[in-house]
């Protein structure tokens, strides 16, 4: 079995009287391609924010390779190489795609100031192997020199994920990376993420199970702040609570009831 990267133990987060995340135990192993699904308000984003360090839990602890990181800031967790999330990686919309990638790469790997990079090194590094490869992997060659503000939503999302991947984090954390995208853009994102399976630990938070069921190796279902099922897709769907909430997820999202299972 591969090494455990993250281990959350009895993690609880309250907002006033509301228990958004309720005594959650969760562990993630190296190279897992895992997903957390659940209806709106289930606590997925709050749990995600506890993992990134954006929130500190009221109870419980979070370990990274056995070391307690419960009180570490997001920056400290990023600096440990633990995680990247595209929501924390902002793009420079007036720069080209390739220059955004160069900046992301250098910010992660070299201790150079951003201004120095902007004026001196972008040009030199546009054709570096790693940058050329990532443009290809994320299907962005055609948009290489385009300013980010002219990208489609799908292209921009691919760029943001590519920037997170360039930092080579241990865990790539993605909170609803497919939100707002068309079916073909969703296939595009899952296709590029698929090229990292076996080389990158991936944790995706997703509202709609149908989007990710063929992609994920392991599924965790949250409901009312608790984990109610964890395992394979079929296993999760057999769970009575999941059948109930899965039906709600699909109907809430589509406005029509086509529960499967």
Ligand X SMILES: Nc1ncnc2c1ncn2[C@@H]1O[C@H](COP(=O)(O)OP(=O)(O)O)[C@@H](O)[C@H]1O
The residues binding ligand X (CB under 6 A) are 15, 18, 20, 38, 40-46
Q: Tell me how far, at minimum, the Cβ of 165 lies from ligand X, in Å.
A: 23
Q: Tell me how far, at minimum, the Cβ of 15 lies from ligand X, in Å.
A: 3
What phi and psi values does residue 210 have, to the nearest 5 degrees? Answer: -65, -30
Single out the segment in contact with Mg ion by CB under 5 A; choices: 36-44, 148-156, 180-188, 211-219. Answer: 36-44
Contact in structure between 24 and 10 (CB atoms under 8 Å):
yes
Other Cβ atoms closer than 10 A to 6: 22
Binding-site partner at residue 82 among Mg ion, ligand X, none, CB < 5 to 8 Å by type: none
Q: How far is CA 226 from the centre of its chain?
A: 20
Comparison of 42 and 202: residue with beta carbon closer to ligand X: 42
**How far, in Å, CA of 100 to CA of 202, rounded?**
22
Comparison of 34 and 140: residue with beta carbon closer to Mg ion: 34
Tokens of 92: 């420079």
Closest CA relative to residue 217, chosen from 193, 245, 181: 193
DSSP letter (8 states) at residue 53: T
> Could you tell me the end-to-end alpha-carbon distance of the chain, in angstroms, rounded to an integer?
30
Q: Tell me how far, at minimum, the Cβ of 175 lies from ligand X, in Å.
A: 8
If binding means CB under 5 A, how many residues of this protein chain bind Mg ion? 2
**How far, in Å, CA of 69 to CA of 170, rounded?**
15
Single out the segment in contact with Mg ion by CB under 5 A; choices: 9-17, 40-48, 94-102, 122-130. Answer: 40-48
Comparison of 198 and 255: residue with beta carbon closer to ligand X: 255
Comparison of 177 and 188: residue with beta carbon closer to Mg ion: 177
* Sole binder of Mg ion in the list 39, 45, 100, 200 (CB under 5 A): 45
Tokens of 72: 């570490």
Residue 46 contacts Mg ion per CB under 5 A: no
Single out the segment in contact with Mg ion by CB under 5 A; choices: 6-14, 37-45, 210-218, 228-236. Answer: 37-45
Q: Tell me how far, at minimum, the Cβ of 118 lies from Mg ion, in Å.
A: 33
Binding-site partner at residue 46 among Mg ion, ligand X, none, CB < 5 to 8 Å by type: ligand X
Q: Tell me how far, at minimum, the Cβ of 227 lies from ligand X, in Å.
A: 12
Q: Write the CA distances from 107 to 98, 128, 144, 164, 227, integer angstroms.
A: 14, 15, 19, 11, 36
What phi and psi values does residue 18 have, to the nearest 5 degrees? Answer: -90, 130
Concatenating the DSSP letter of every residue in 84-107 gives EEGGG----TTSBHHHHHHHHHHH
Binding-site partner at residue 136 among Mg ion, ligand X, none, CB < 5 to 8 Å by type: none
Q: Tell me how far, at minimum, the Cβ of 225 lies from ligand X, in Å.
A: 7
Comparison of 103 and 177: residue with beta carbon closer to Mg ion: 177
Residues lying near Mg ion in the complex (CB under 5 A): 44-45
């Amino acid at each position: 079995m591969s090494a455990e990267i993250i281990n959350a133990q009895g993690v609880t987060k309250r907002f006033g009287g509301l228990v958004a995340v309720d005594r959650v135990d969760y562990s993630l192993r190296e190279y897992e391609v895992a997903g957390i699904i659940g209806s709106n308000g289930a606590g997925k984003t709050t749990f995600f924010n506890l993992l990134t360090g954006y929130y500190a839990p009221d109870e419980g602890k979070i370990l990274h390779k056995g070391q307690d990181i419960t009180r570490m800031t997001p920056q400290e967790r990023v600096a440990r190489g633990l995680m990247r999330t595209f929501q924390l990686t902002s793009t420079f919309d007036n720069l080209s795609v390739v220059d955004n990638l160069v900046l992301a790469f250098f910010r992660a790997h070299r201790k150079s100031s951003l201004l120095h990079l902007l004026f001196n090194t972008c040009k030199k590094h546009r054709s570096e192997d790693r940058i050329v490869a990532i443009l290809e992997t994320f299907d962005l060659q055609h948009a290489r020199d385009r300013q980010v503000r002219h990208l489609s939503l799908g292209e921009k999302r691919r760029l943001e994920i590519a920037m997170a991947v360039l930092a080579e984090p241990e865990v790539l954390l993605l909170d609803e990376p497919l939100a707002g995208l068309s079916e073909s853009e969703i296939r595009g994102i899952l296709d590029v993420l698929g090229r990292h399976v076996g080389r990158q630990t991936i944790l995706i938070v997703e509202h709609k199970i149908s989007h990710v069921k063929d992609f994920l190796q392991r599924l965790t279902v949250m409901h009312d702040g608790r984990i109610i099922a964890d395992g394979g897709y079929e296993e999760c769907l057999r769970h009575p609570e999941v059948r109930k909430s899965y039906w709600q997820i699909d109907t809430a999202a589509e406005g029509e009831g086509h529960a499967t299972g």
